[in-house]
Structure 1
């Protein structure tokens, strides 16, 4: 069985001539040949910002680019038909589609409602800063463009626990809606800011049983309509965990399958919180290893001052390798984004070797590293910033190595602050499998490493082309491997 490799098939500023769904369909066969086994698509449903939305301000989950709502029929990425066709083509080629699910909030309500609220301290959401008072807010969602097709459910003020805009007062704030389910927030995993239930827009009230049932009905409709094989869950630390468990169990039981689930629980400080989340959810989902991403970012910034021997310390892939989805960058960390922490270009080849060519974790490649990305921040015209992310030249070869020969027993040589390496011994069913990887964040490096006696006498070369010599594995299965300064070399068997 080939190694699993995911691809995040979008970036925040996607602006190419082909709509994203069209492009993905065209690329299906090529992606499969590269070794991509799963594609993570962005949110596919109609959002408040209409045709320009990346998808994280969801309006109508049932509108996949089919109805005239928010001044458009198609989404930024194309029509419902385009989306369904892309999924079909990818999965026909053996590439499973992972759909992005944004359950935390809704945006762009259709009608105003009056409701009782209390304001809270933004830095401590458990602290009320007012007595109850009435406001008008956009909390009623009628989806007139869809006119009840697929679902007649109407979202209203009882479906939300908080809002950030009082229309009658023309004031922003964090307003806790005083509804029949309680005056305070839901119990969520994150205790940041006292209670991090509220993130943005209209915060969904999962204590409302009608909301839970509607989202289960929607999940059934979504899979029946499109046939995806997995889900990426957005912002789970802001969502009641018992609801997500209930929803996932319902989906798996309904379709008699086990959907691939990866959740975003952004944390760069404390692996224990991610471990606790995995314990609560009992193996139902995997988590993105944002802690490893942060270490890769620091390694790029600090260069030879960074201790490479400790790069996995305190990461999820170190403590829970079977539940970690590793990544170099994503749409939140790319330049100009709120969590910008884009890994320096010189270190990107090393970073990809660290996620693609090791045993632990399932790696997720970022769209811009495969295809490149050129964009500008049009929201800041007075100080316009243009970004050019070039494709990573080494990435196709690394993907090929992962697919074809990066298998078997892993021997680690993470034993020097500026030069680390590891080997994979290979497996009989993969011809010429087995690799040696060595990297340096300082001067030229070398390291004695064991391939195993079964490789005695074999010749190995650096498939990245950074080193030109050939290496012969000795009679005991050992060899001395080399890499250039601030570089990585991937040695494979000829």
Structure 2
């Protein structure tokens, strides 16, 4: 079994040139070469305008096929180009996961008038107005698609809230009033109730809404030949629906159909409860580990590296952990900005790519670059990917005994003496770690592969060796091919 790697194949500042699916197709062979086994693609359906990253989801059934919102293509290209890219990835044995934005809809076709109650944005359970008539963007008729694939249309009764009153021009959080209306109960309790996030908030208490989205899920998997979903903003969506949605699509596409959920919270108890409540139907991004990386990068030598894995899904439930360094939400200028400082990015990738536990996800911005700026880290990530493919196997032994220098040793595949690796991370000064490699390796020569220039190391007669690292750098050591 070769170690799998996911890549998030987009970042916030990609050009609105409609060429991204083409770039992805042309990159398929290279992705295979570096060991990528799955690609998380951005939301591939029509957003509010051509440059929409996809989270302002307008029409889930329009994959860049219809003239809507002033464009046929999405930011990334046409449906045909997307299918070509997916076919190319599959040719190289790479899975494709689509970003599923199911919490809200943006860019409505018409406004409607209805009764709504303004709520306190800091406590959505607290009503701060009587029911009053507002005018909201809640009517979705999708005229450009003309009922192809789905005849379903949306109106205010199918949403639970909006954030803008067209009558007064006021931006606020409005809970739509009416019989059996209200926020979903089984969502995150932040801000009292975190059902409402943005735009027109989908109300999953309606059976027809649930059916429409489940039907879309089955259709889009078939249409694009998908292997999985990345489920956006799951802490804002009814737990019952997420569970039902994944169970229903797997009835058609099998238990191996993959899912990873974005629950942006670093409270481990909350995530554990969430996994239990949805019957472990999805993996989760390891947000706690990301925040550890962020804190370590900011605090530098004052951060205790022995705590770097604390409060992580990787430690709690490694089978369910998708580990990552940064993503489009954490990168500079984003709503949830918590970008890892540049010096620590190699450290964070060494942890997620070389550890025994977790399913690592590369970020396009870290590997290729942000906007027009090429990433300074691509070369070191390539080195780490090489070690992941060839060496990072077997049991992991942690040497987390110093707040400023930690290391871990992967023993390698059984009876394959040229596998195994040692990773050492420093956040302060130069140093070294004595590592017990094993008596079966006596006399073996190990080399450092991230360009430190250190001399090779020979495993001594006790099966031990001292491996060096430069200050605030990483060093990765592997057996030298004889």
Q: TM-score, normalised by structure 1?
A: 0.95
String of CA shifts for 1:375-404, please: whole Å, max 9, x gaps. Answer: 5xxxxxxxxxxx775343211010011011
* CA distance in structure 1 between the partners assigned to 2:303 and 2:363 by the alignment: 24
* CA distance in structure 2 between the partners assigned to 1:280 and 1:26 by the alignment: 41
Aligned length: 480
Task: List runs of 5+ in structure 2 lacking aligned partners.
Answer: none
Q: CA deviation at 1:366?
A: 0.7
String of CA shifts for 1:227-271, please: whole Å, max 9, x gaps. Answer: 110100011000000001001000001123421111111113x21
**Does 2:344 match 1:320?**
no
* Aligned 8 A contact 1:140 1:155 in 2: yes
* Aligned 8 A contact 2:45 2:60 in 1: yes
* Aligned 8 A contact 1:424 1:451 in 2: no
* Aligned 8 A contact 1:419 1:438 in 2: yes
Taking structure 1 as reference, are residues 109 and 17 closer, same or farther at Cα in structure 2, changes over 3 Å only? closer
String of CA shifts for 1:26-80, please: whole Å, max 9, x gaps. Answer: 01011011000111100000001x1111000000000000000000000000000
Q: CA deviation at 1:428?
A: 3.5
**3-state SS of the aligned residue for 2:309?**
coil
Residue 192 of structure 1: which of 190, 193, 197 is its match? 190
* Aligned 8 A contact 2:331 2:337 in 1: yes
**What is the correspondence of 1:70-85 to structure 2 with a 5 Å cutoff?**
70-85=69-84
Give the match for residue 150 of structure 1: 149
Give the match for residue 221 of structure 1: 219
Give the match for residue 8 of structure 2: 8
**3-state SS of the aligned residue for 2:40?**
strand
**What is the correspondence of 1:414-425 to structure 2 with a 5 Å cutoff?**
414-425=400-411
Q: CA deviation at 1:467?
A: 3.6
**3-state SS of the aligned residue for 2:298?**
helix
Taking structure 1 as reference, are residues 39 and 109 closer, same or farther at Cα in structure 2, changes over 3 Å only? same
Give the match for residue 212 of structure 1: 210
Taking structure 1 as reference, are residues 58 and 444 closer, same or farther at Cα in structure 2, changes over 3 Å only? same
* CA distance in structure 2 between the partners assigned to 1:122 and 1:67 by the alignment: 36
Q: CA deviation at 1:352?
A: 0.7
Taking structure 1 as reference, are residues 388 and 341 closer, same or farther at Cα in structure 2, changes over 3 Å only? farther
Give the match for residue 131 of structure 1: 130
Greater shift, 158-167 or 474-483, is seen at 474-483
Residue 340 of structure 1: which of 337, 340, 346 is its match? 337
* Aligned 8 A contact 1:374 1:389 in 2: no
* CA distance in structure 1 between the partners assigned to 2:292 and 2:330 by the alignment: 13
**3-state SS of the aligned residue for 1:52?**
coil
Q: CA deviation at 1:93?
A: 0.5
**Does 2:283 match 1:286?**
yes
Taking structure 1 as reference, are residues 351 and 16 closer, same or farther at Cα in structure 2, changes over 3 Å only? farther
Q: CA deviation at 1:107?
A: 0.6
RMSD (CA atoms):
1.5
Task: List runs of 5+ in structure 1 lacking aligned partners.
Answer: 376-386
* CA distance in structure 2 between the partners assigned to 1:292 and 1:264 by the alignment: 14
**3-state SS of the aligned residue for 1:491?**
strand
Give the match for residue 300 of structure 1: 297
* CA distance in structure 2 between the partners assigned to 1:209 and 1:17 by the alignment: 38
* Aligned 8 A contact 1:422 1:438 in 2: yes
Greater shift, 224-233 or 9-18, is seen at 9-18
* Aligned 8 A contact 1:437 1:490 in 2: yes
* Aligned 8 A contact 2:368 2:374 in 1: no
**What is the correspondence of 1:92-171 to structure 2 with a 5 Å cutoff?**
92-171=91-170
Give the match for residue 253 of structure 1: 251
* CA distance in structure 1 between the partners assigned to 2:295 and 2:359 by the alignment: 21
* Aligned 8 A contact 2:413 2:419 in 1: yes
**What is the correspondence of 1:237-276 to structure 2 with a 5 Å cutoff?**
237-268=235-266, 270-276=267-273
* CA distance in structure 2 between the partners assigned to 1:25 and 1:274 by the alignment: 35
**3-state SS of the aligned residue for 1:221?**
helix
Q: TM-score, normalised by structure 2?
A: 0.97
* Aligned 8 A contact 1:45 1:55 in 2: yes
**What is the correspondence of 1:413-492 to structure 2 with a 5 Å cutoff?**
413-428=399-414, 432-492=418-478
**What is the correspondence of 1:49-60 to structure 2 with a 5 Å cutoff?**
50-60=49-59
Q: CA deviation at 1:430?
A: 5.6
